[in-house]
Amino acid sequence: MITAPSFTAPAPTSLAPDPLGTQSVNMALYRSVFPGINNVAQYIRVYSALSWMVLKIDEAAVARGATQEEALEISTRGMEKMELLLTWSNTLNGVDGMPGSRRLWPTDPARKVELRFDVLMGEEQDKAVKAGKVDIDFSNSARFLSAPEYRPSAVNGLRFLAVTGIAGMWQLTQGGMELAAAFQAMLDKSQHPLADWLADPTATTITQAEVKALWNPVLNVREAAVDEREAFLAHYFPPPDASPSVPRWRHRHKGLTLALRAIETAESNFEASEGFVPVDAIRHTMGSRLAPNGRELADETLEDIAGYWTSLQYRQYLKLALETLFRATEFVVHNSVLGNSAREVTAVSAAVGAYSSAGLPTDVVLADVASRLRSSLLRGEESLYRSGMRVPALDMKTRMAALLSAGWSIRLASSKGINAVYAALQAVGALACEALVYCALDATVWQDRQGFRMTVDGDRLPLTELVQLFADFSNASPADFVAQVVRDYVVNLHFRVVRERTEWERNPRDRYRFIMGDQGLERNLNTERDLINIDIMSDLLHRALNLMARSGLLEQRGPQGNENEFRLTEAGRLRASQALEMA
């Protein structure tokens, strides 16, 4: 029998990323097309240099008859040495995006320094040390072998490295051995005076001047020798007669082939730019199977992967539409609290929906929105997305950019005044409504195509439900349609997603962006005071193409480190045709 109240500490708050739970499905579709890589890894030399250092560590441990404890120390020193050298040398030479590039590097070119994480620290770690803090985990910092960087692909995706039973010690796979041998061949050819020093995992003292001297040709991540390329390709994009022991390589093989075929299909439209095709045109051609020049992409042997890719494009658009409506909903809740307006879920949903009708003054019912969108279709074409390749008003990327811009214009405090915010709310309501209708209409066009996914495990708004919702509201106003979406797939979905995450975790966190108060919805200011951040999720295509370019199958151009235009090499053209024959 309870005789007194029991008090517990409140759950710790979280910034609540992905408040509608839509990201996991999109990431699953990405991994179905390009498994094994992420949107960070783009340099072959990183894989080969790390593999080579693991080999040198093994050789040193055996040669010295090291105990397990001594071997771990050799491994720690060697891996920190190589990771810091890669970052420092490339950062010194203007290569952006190196993990740990903001460490406090020495500025005196003659000063000797030890290549250790607890010596070359980041600013926050340096402050912690100076403040007298103990038990600082220096390995938990920006580095190549961390989860956001190269570790997932090096260990699980492409399997050049394998974990051992001892944290901090690594083992080479057959692919890693081949990469290490290729790096050694490059180093031998270079006859670099620091080669012997580099090969000793425990020789960790160096100057900035020596780091600069090591960059070219040894540590320059923009370069990869022919042997390195071939060893990398054997796992990343194997030749037709290969069967590597890498998980899901056939999916990635088909995804990369689809990209090569998209470039080949679209290249004649870009003769003015010497045949270099922008990544956006490649993405669209892969998804719509239609190039800007009107050529159809031959996908008979790749329909399953092409279907995944097409499914992903619509879910990217849907994700942005729902999250932008979420931002609008947060603003309406905030404004309703200040103005003491009705804040029940239905009232807030109706208020957001009303902005849609205000932004679509000529569309009386939802069917009018559909008719207006369809009026811009290419002659003989049923798909809005396919038409968008040649009709700017239907281009999905352009429409997403407009929706994103309008969403960010919704601010709690705008220098342009409250009327500008209300205009942004109307724009969001209209553009989000059009996005939902766009996806519903096109889903019926693609639903019978092989590989296209009307539903995916974990879908928060399956295309089947969206199609039915559009049918149910086709003769209702856009305001009613959007209000229903906000109620069921924004507000109530957010509550459901947070509850699921709370039930799944041993240490629940308060992720609610808004909550039910005594008077209705109110923002959870314990969690976050700003409105939700919205963005278009980075895709893996760009990095997949960068890796193919560094492998010699494509030429690339654009900002260094972020090259975004691609042209087939002869080797790439051959591999595209071989892959289609093999499939």
pLDDT for 11 beyond 80: no
CA distances from 158 to 151, 442, 492, 560 (A): 10, 35, 40, 25
- Say whether both 292 and 340 belong to one domain: no
pLDDT for 59 beyond 90: yes
DSSP state of 164: -
pLDDT at residue 509 in the model: 72
Is 56 part of a structural domain of the chain?
yes
- When mean pLDDT is compared across 22-31, 132-141, 386-395, the lowest value belongs to 132-141
Is 395 part of a structural domain of the chain?
yes
- Taking residue 457's Cβ as centre, other Cβ atoms within 10 Å add up to 8
Is 550 part of a structural domain of the chain?
yes
- Say whether both 117 and 227 belong to one domain: yes
Residue 293, domain CATH: 1.10.10.10
pLDDT at residue 244 in the model: 81
pLDDT at residue 13 in the model: 65
**Domain final residue, candidates 236, 265, 291:** 236
Is 399 part of a structural domain of the chain?
yes
- What confidence category does residue 1 fall into, taking pLDDT thresholds of 50, 70 and 90? low
Residue-wise pLDDT tens digits, 398-446: 999 999 999 999 999 888 889 999 999 999 999 999 999 999 999 999 9
Task: Please compute the mean of the pLDDT values over residues 79-103 and round it to a whole number.
Answer: 96
Is 535 part of a structural domain of the chain?
no
d(CA 543, CA 556): 12
pLDDT at residue 153 in the model: 96
- Say whether both 274 and 404 belong to one domain: no
CA distances from 386 to 99, 290, 295, 309, 321 (A): 39, 6, 12, 14, 20
- Say whether both 339 and 407 belong to one domain: yes
Is 130 part of a structural domain of the chain?
yes
Residue-wise pLDDT tens digits, 285-310: 999 999 999 999 987 889 999 999 99
Residue-wise pLDDT tens digits, 460-479: 999 999 999 999 999 999 99
Of 577 and 382, more confident? 382
- Say whether both 499 and 566 belong to one domain: no
pLDDT at residue 583 in the model: 42
pTM: predicted TM-score of the whole model, two decimal places:
0.93
- What confidence category does residue 16 fall into, taking pLDDT thresholds of 50, 70 and 90? low
Is 461 part of a structural domain of the chain?
yes
pLDDT at residue 506 in the model: 64
- Say whether both 163 and 257 belong to one domain: no
Q: What is the mean pLDDT of the chain?
A: 93
* Beta carbons of 14 and 199 less than 8 angstroms apart: no
- Say whether both 355 and 444 belong to one domain: yes
CB neighbours of 535 closer than 8 A, spacing ≥ 6? 404
- Say whether both 173 and 264 belong to one domain: no
pLDDT at residue 282 in the model: 98
Task: Please compute the mean of the pLDDT values over residues 122-137 and round it to a whole number.
Answer: 82
Is 330 part of a structural domain of the chain?
yes
Q: By residue range, what is the domain housing residue 262?
A: 250-300+540-582
- Say whether both 261 and 319 belong to one domain: no
From 346, 320, 366, 374, select the one nearest 481 (Cα to Cα).
Answer: 366
- Say whether both 94 and 190 belong to one domain: yes
Residue percentage of the chain with pLDDT more than 70: 97
Residue percentage of the chain with pLDDT more than 90: 82
**Domain final residue, candidates 186, 213, 236:** 236
pLDDT at residue 299 in the model: 78
CB neighbours of 465 closer than 8 A, spacing ≥ 6? none
From 100, 56, 99, select the one nearest 78 (Cα to Cα).
Answer: 56
- Say whether both 193 and 328 belong to one domain: no
pLDDT at residue 332 in the model: 96
**Domain final residue, candidates 181, 204, 236:** 236
SS3 352: helix
Question: How many CA within 13 A on the CB side of residue 41?
Answer: 29
- When mean pLDDT is compared across 91-100, 243-252, 372-381, the lowest value belongs to 243-252
pLDDT at residue 494 in the model: 96
- What confidence category does residue 15 fall into, taking pLDDT thresholds of 50, 70 and 90? low
Please give the tally of structural domains in the chain. 3
Residue-wise pLDDT tens digits, 165-176: 899 999 999 999
- Stated as kind and residue range, the H or E segment containing 523 is strand 520-523
- Taking residue 415's Cβ as centre, other Cβ atoms within 10 Å add up to 6
pLDDT at residue 146 in the model: 95
CB neighbours of 102 closer than 8 A, spacing ≥ 6? 122, 123, 142
- Say whether both 72 and 129 belong to one domain: yes
d(CA 221, CA 425): 45
d(CA 370, CA 384): 10
For residue 292, whether the previous peptide bond is cis, meaning omega lies within 30 degrees of 0, is no
pLDDT at residue 502 in the model: 85
- What confidence category does residue 527 fall into, taking pLDDT thresholds of 50, 70 and 90? low
